[in-house]
Amino acid sequence: MKTVNKIYINGKFVTPHGTEIFNLINPSNNQKIGEVTLADETDTKNAVAAAKEAFKTFSKSTVSERIKYLTRLKVAVEKRKQDFTDIMIEEYGGTHQFVTMSNQYSGAWFDSMIGVIQTYEFEKTINSSLVKMQPVGVVGIITPWNASNSSVISKVATAIAAGCTVVIKPSEMSALQTQVLMEAFHDAGLPKGIINFVTGLGNVVGTELTVNPAVSKISFTGSTAVGKLIAKTAADTMKRVTLELGGKSPNIILDDANLEEVIPTAVFGAYMNSGQACIAPTRLLVSENQIDKVNEIAKATAEKVIVGLPQNDDTNVGPMVSVKQFERVQNYIKIGLAEGATVLAGGEGKPEGLEAGNFVKPTIFTHVNNKMRIAHEEIFGPVLSIIPYKTEEEAIEIANDTPYGLAAYVSSPDVERAQKVASQIDAGRVCINGFRHDPMVPFGGFKQSGIGREYGVYGLEAYLEPKAVLQ
Ligand code: NAD
């Protein structure tokens, strides 16, 4: 049994004022593995006060000081790589494959921000005036359970690069991962108050961060529903917001693509992070003339997908994070059946031998109409919808017929053709021929997938406030 009973304020691990206990459950077997003491509004206020005090000095730090801190954070986080891996498997049910890949980038988040501020012009002259990019202030960082470490690390790296101080509220379901992060950040030895952690519930700690007038900005990653709530509440104190929200990403397979290559990639892609990924390509758009061939390959691929214990090297799909998430996915599978979609693979219930955990059968629906709820709503589990299109124009229309606009994918050997299609898709990130990651290019959503961008210069500027001095 593990106990998380400290939060991190002003450079010290302190006992929270909050006393509520939240049980931590291993999603592979639903056994209790630990407890976290949830912090409350008082704790949040204390953390904000520490961050506000630290901001007075830190906001005046030089770029080279910040680079020194970012380097120390990088070293400290990289030292704990194995701990992150172990705990993400145990607490979150992240597969060994996913967790290893995700942890590979931990240090890179700091490197990319070091790279950005080495050349970024924090001061510019425009005509005879000075334009200064000032750190925005205290930032409230609120993150989800499905990518806890990478969300926290990438946001902290950007905030530090900008000269902002932070109060971090990770998901209550990520308390063990948070403990490792708190220790790593503490070991980096930054001046007190720059980084603070408050574990707790969204409607307690998250709400206090959102209303507290000393917080200048909220950087949130999570669901669209909570993102809307934060945007509304934050408006009262005119906080800046960066909202990284949900997705229902289209994956357009153009009719000249090599189906034997792209369909298996598409199926495994939809199941990335066990389907609990905001950027997962969950709508597979294929030419109606090729749908039989696509179905055949997709079904054969689904049979190769290994659902199992997340610690096994060969597991592709692990358990859903919680019973609630398991039930959500089951409910959507029922909805898909009721809507008349054809089940090509998977379906309701748990895979044989995995009844103790929150495992679902990786599912593929085909002959899906984009108006169906399974094609429109974010399921956040390993459920893929294959949607036929008649023409390239219709493929683009279907791709854009969604409230979301986070990511999109296009496959074709004719790169120019793929680029032309990509240019017509309303999404913050369009990948051509495969899945790509680049921490220097902007990440974020169109439409209800969010507001603002993270990563690289675009991400940095979201933590800065331009000030013009006219002379
Ligand atoms: P969630 O919105 O339920 O929770 C996210 C965080 O917000 C948690 O820390 C939660 O405690 C907190 N929260 C809840 N209510 C709050 C409130 N009223 N005020 C302030 N904070 C509050 O999301 P989740 O279930 O943890 O994560 C899954 C969702 O996150 C999915 O919709 C997914 O698409 C999205 N997500 C988006 C991205 C992206 O980069 N766009 C990345 C990962 C996950």
pLDDT digits (tens, 9 = 90+) for 123-148: 999 999 999 999 999 999 999 999 99
Atom of ligand 1 nearest to the CA of 454: 40
User: Is residue 461 pLDDT above 90, yes or no?
Assistant: yes
Atom of ligand 1 nearest to the CA of 226: 2
Active site residue 244: yes
Indicate whether residue 222 lines ligand 1 (CB < 6 A).
Answer: yes
Average pLDDT of the residues in 390-418: 98
Average pLDDT of the residues in 421-439: 96
Instruction: Give the count of alpha carbons within 13 A of 243, CB side only.
Output: 26
The residue whose CA is least distant from atom 16 of ligand 1 is 202
Domains of the chain: 2-245+447-469 (3.40.605.10), 250-432 (3.40.309.10)
**Average pLDDT of the residues of the chain:** 98
**Catalytic position from the list 41, 208, 278, 378:** 278
Question: For 250-309, what is each residue's pLDDT tens digit?
Answer: 999 999 999 999 999 999 999 999 999 999 999 999 999 999 999 999 999 999 999 999
Q: How far is the CA of 446 from the centre of ligand 1 (A)?
A: 17
Band of pLDDT at residue 105, cut at 50, 70 and 90: confident
Region of residue 30 (phi > 0: left; psi between -120 and 50: alpha; otherwise: beta): left
Q: How far is the CA of 408 from the centre of ligand 1 (A)?
A: 21
Q: How far is the CA of 155 from the centre of ligand 1 (A)?
A: 14
**Ligand 1: which of 205, 221, 377 to mutate, judged by most atoms within 8 Å of the beta carbon?**
221
Indicate whether residue 405 lines ligand 1 (CB < 6 A).
Answer: no
Buried b (16+ CB within 10 A) or exposed e, 121-146: ebeeeeeeeebebbbbbbbbbbbbbb
Check residues 103 and 165 and name the one with the higher pLDDT. 165
Instruction: Please tell me the distance from the alpha carbon of residue 150 to that of residue 279, in angstroms, as a whole number.
Output: 14
The residue whose CA is least distant from atom 40 of ligand 1 is 244
Which token pair is 170? 């990770």
Which residues fall within 8 angstroms of residue 409, CB to CB, at 6 or more apart?
249, 250, 251, 252, 266, 269, 281, 430, 431, 432, 434, 435
User: Is residue 219 pLDDT above 90, yes or no?
Assistant: yes
Identify the pLDDT of residue 43: 98
Question: For 177-196, what is each residue's pLDDT tens digit?
Answer: 999 999 999 999 999 999 99
Active site residue 35: no
User: Is residue 70 pLDDT above 90, yes or no?
Assistant: yes
The residue whose CA is least distant from atom 3 of ligand 1 is 223
Q: How far is the CA of 448 from the centre of ligand 1 (A)?
A: 14
Output the 3-class SS for the chain.
CEEECCEEECCEEECCCCCCEEEEEECCCCEEEEEEECCCHHHHHHHHHHHHHHHHHHCCCCHHHHHHHHHHHHHHHHHCHHHHHHHHHHHHCCCHHHHHHHHHCHHHHHHHHHHHHHHCCCEEEECCEEEEEEECCEEEEECCCCCHHHHHHHHHHHHHHHCCEEEEECCHHHHHHHHHHHHHHHHCCCCCCCEEECCCCHHHHHHHHHHCCCEEEEEEECCHHHHHHHHHHHHHHCCEEEEECCCCCEEEECCCCCHHHHHHHHHHHHCHHHHCCCCCCCEEEEEHHHHHHHHHHHHHHHHHCCECCCCCCCCCECCCCCHHHHHHHHHHHHHHHHCCCEEEEEECCCCCCCCCCCCCEEEEEECCCCCCHHHHCCCCCCEEEEEEECCHHHHHHHHHCCCCCCEEEEECCCHHHHHHHHCCCCCCEEEECCCCCCCCCCECCCHHHEECCECHHHHHHCCEEEEEECC
Question: For 340-372, what is each residue's pLDDT tens digit?
Answer: 999 999 999 999 999 999 999 999 999 999 999
User: Is residue 158 pLDDT above 90, yes or no?
Assistant: yes
**Catalytic position from the list 244, 378, 454, 461:** 244
Indicate whether residue 207 lines ligand 1 (CB < 6 A).
Answer: yes
Indicate whether residue 144 lines ligand 1 (CB < 6 A).
Answer: yes
Indicate whether residue 143 lines ligand 1 (CB < 6 A).
Answer: yes
